[in-house]
C-alpha cells in the first residue's frame, strides 16, 4: 500500500519535494490555498522555474495531485509544511502562514502521523508555536503525533543539486520524532543528517544563511576601498581561492536578494534581541552593508557617466538582468529594485533587458512600470551606460561589451575591454 503524503505549500520548496516523493512511490497531495495555482498544477502547468511542465505531468501520472481542501490531511501518513515566512514589520518572521497550516493540521490530523515543518524561522518555533497548534489539548507529541523540523535547502536555478542529492537535516521534538523524520526523508533523499533536536535543525538553517550574508558583506565592503586604492578585488579573490584550505571564495555584487540571504539572518537577530536583550551585531552590520550595496552601484554609475561629462539627470541607463540571481525568473528582494528607484530619483532615463522578466513593476517606485527591451544589442547601443546586474546564460557578454559604449560590470564576469569597468 502506498504511503500518503500531504505537502502544504506548492511553491519553489513544496512542489519539487512533492514530485520527488511521488516519483519514489508516495501518494502525494500538494495542498495550496491559491486556487489558480492548484488548477494550473492539475492541468500540467508549472509556475516555478525548477519544475518543467514535463516533470509536472510525469508527477501527475505517477501519484501527485494538487488540492485546496485541508481535509486531505486526515488521510495522510506524513504532512510536510512548506509555507513562506516573510519578514514582519518588527523584523521577525511573519508566522501567520505557519500558524494557519498548523491549525489546519490540528483539525484533521490522525494519530500516528508524522508532521514536519520546513519553513525557515527562528529556533524554538517548532516547539513553542507550531506544535501546540497541531496537538491541541488532546494529542501528545512523540506519542500520538510525531513532529520534527527539517530546513529547506532548495537553491533555485541550481542544476547540480536538487531534492535528491542535497543532504537533508532533520531534528525531532523527541528522539522518536527525529528517527521517524529521518526514515521518511531517506526514502527519496540520498543523505539524511539527524540533528540533536528541532532547535538545532532550525539553527543550522540560519547558520548557513548568516554565514553567506556576513561573507558577502565582507567583500561588498572590500570592493569599495579596493576601487579607491586601484586594486582589482576580483583578481585578488581568484588568487586567494588557490589556497586549498582555510578559505572560501565570495564575490561582491550589487546587493543580496531572494528568499533566504536578506531575510533569514534577521530572524535570528530578532530572536536574540527579543529573548536575550542584546544585539547580534555581526548580522546587523552585514545587513547594513548589503542593503547599501545598490546605492553604491548608483554612485559608481554617476561616476562612470561623470567621467564622460554626461549628467546622470537625463542619461540613458540600461540595466541587464533584474532577477535576484542568474538564470531564474525570481525577483524577490532583488537589488535591482532599490538601484532602479535611486537612479530614477537622480533623473536617469531607465530601461532594462531580462530574458526572464517581460514586465517590471519596480518595488518602492510608485508608477515605475517597465517592459524589457526586445533587442539587447540595440538597447545597449542606445544607452549611455549599461549596467550588468545578472549574467544570465542567454546573454552574450562579448556582444554586450562590443555594442556598449560603457559597461559597469557588477559581477566581474565581462570580458576585459576599454568599454568595461568592474564594480
> Between vectors from CA 76 to CA 156 and to CA 104, what angle results, nearest 5°?
80
Contacts of 31-39 with C-beta under 8 Å, sequence gap 24+, read: 31/6, 31/7, 31/66, 31/67, 31/68, 31/69, 31/70, 31/72, 31/73, 32/8, 32/66, 32/67, 32/68, 33/68, 34/68, 35/68, 37/10, 37/66, 38/10, 38/66, 38/67, 38/68
> Between vectors from CA 305 to CA 304 and to CA 308, what angle results, nearest 5°?
100
Residues 6+ apart with CB under 8 A from 1: none
Which triple of cell numbers denotes residue 283?
Answer: 548580522
Secondary structure, 3-state, 216-266 = HHHHHHHHHHHHHCCCCHHHHHHHHCCCCCCCCCCCCCCCCCCCCCCCHHH
> 383: closest CA among 295, 292, 308, 294?
308
Contact assessment for residue 352 and residue 320, using Cβ atoms and an 8 Å cutoff: yes
Which triple of cell numbers denotes residue 102?
Answer: 498548523
Contact assessment for residue 257 and residue 326, using Cβ atoms and an 8 Å cutoff: no
Sign of the torsion formed by the C-alpha atoms of 256, 259, 263 and 265: negative
Give catalytic residue positions: 260
Secondary structure, 3-state, 360-385 = EECCCCCCCEEECCCCHHHHHHHCCE
Contact assessment for residue 422 and residue 226, using Cβ atoms and an 8 Å cutoff: no
Query: Residue 341, Cβ neighbours under 10 Å: how many?
Result: 19
Place of cell 514530485: 19
Q: At what angle do helices 198-228 and 281-307 cross, to 10 degrees?
A: 30
> 6: closest CA among 93, 90, 83?
83
Query: Residue 417, Cβ neighbours under 10 Å: how many?
Result: 12
Which backbone phi and psi does 346 adopt, to 5 degrees?
-85, -5
Give Cα 113 distance to the centre of its chain: 29
Amino acid at each position: 500500500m502506498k504511503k500518503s503524503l500531504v505537502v502544504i505549500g506548492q511553491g519553489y520548496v513544496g512542489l519539487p519535494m512533492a514530485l520527488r516523493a511521488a516519483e519514489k512511490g508516495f501518494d502525494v497531495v500538494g495542498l495550496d490555498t491559491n486556487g489558480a495555482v492548484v488548477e494550473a498544477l492539475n492541468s500540467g502547468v508549472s509556475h516555478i522555474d525548477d519544475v518543467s511542465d514535463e516533470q509536472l505531468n510525469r508527477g501527475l501520472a505517477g501519484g501527485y495531485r494538487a488540492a485546496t481542501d485541508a481535509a486531505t490531511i486526515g488521510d495522510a501518513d506524513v504532512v510536510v509544511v512548506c509555507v513562506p515566512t516573510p519578514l514582519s514589520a518588527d523584523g521577525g518572521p511573519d508566522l501567520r502562514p505557519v500558524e494557519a497550516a498548523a491549525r489546519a493540521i490540528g483539525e484533521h490530523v490522525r494519530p500516528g502521523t508524522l508532521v514536519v515543518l520546513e519553513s525557515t524561522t527562528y529556533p524554538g518555533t517548532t516547539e513553542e508555536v507550531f506544535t501546540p497548534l497541531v496537538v491541541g489539548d488532546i494529542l501528545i507529541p512523540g506519542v500520538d503525533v510525531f513532529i520534527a523540523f527539517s530546513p529547506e535547502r532548495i537553491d533555485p536555478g541550481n542544476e547540480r543539486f536538487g531534492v535528491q542529492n542535497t543532504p537533508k537535516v532533520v531534528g525531532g521534538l523527541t528522539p522518536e520524532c527525529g528517527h521517524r523524520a529521518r526514515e521518511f526523508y531517506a526514502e527519496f533523499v540520498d543523505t539524511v543528517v539527524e540533528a540533536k533536536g528541532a532547535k538545532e535543525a532550525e539553527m543550522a538553517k540560519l547558520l548557513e544563511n548568516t554565514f553567506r550574508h556576513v561573507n558577502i558583506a565582507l567583500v561588498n565592503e572590500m570592493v569599495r576601498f579596493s576601487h579607491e586604492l586601484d586594486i582589482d578585488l576580483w583578481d585578488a579573490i581568484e588568487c586567494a581561492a588557490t589556497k586549498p584550505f582555510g578559505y572560501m571564495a565570495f564575490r561582491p555584487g550589487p546587493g543580496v536578494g531572494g528568499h533566504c540571504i536578506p531575510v533569514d539572518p534577521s530572524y535570528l537577530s530578532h530572536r536574540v534581541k527579543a529573548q536575550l536583550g542584546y544585539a547580534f551585531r555581526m548580522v546587523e552590520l552585514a545587513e547594513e552593508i548589503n542593503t547599501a550595496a545598490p546605492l553604491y552601484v548608483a554612485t559608481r554609475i554617476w561616476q562612470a557617466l561623470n567621467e564622460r561629462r554626461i549628467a546622470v539627470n537625463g542619461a540613458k541607463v540600461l540595466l541587464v538582468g533584474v532577477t535576484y540571481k542568474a538564470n531564474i525568473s525570481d525577483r524577490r528582494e532583488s537589488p535591482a529594485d532599490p538601484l532602479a528607484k535611486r537612479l530614477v530619483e537622480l533623473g536617469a532615463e531607465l530601461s532594462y533587458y531580462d530574458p526572464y522578466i517581460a514586465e517590471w513593476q519596480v518595488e518602492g517606485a510608485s508608477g515605475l512600470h517597465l517592459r524589457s527591451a526586445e533587442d539587447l544589442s540595440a538597447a545597449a547601443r542606445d544607452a549611455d551606460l549599461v549596467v550588468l546586474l545578472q549574467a544570465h546564460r542567454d546573454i552574450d557578454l562579448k556582444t554586450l561589451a562590443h555594442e556598449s559604449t560603457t559597461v559597469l560590470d557588477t559581477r566581474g564576469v565581462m570580458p576585459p575591454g576599454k568599454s568595461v569597468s568592474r564594480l
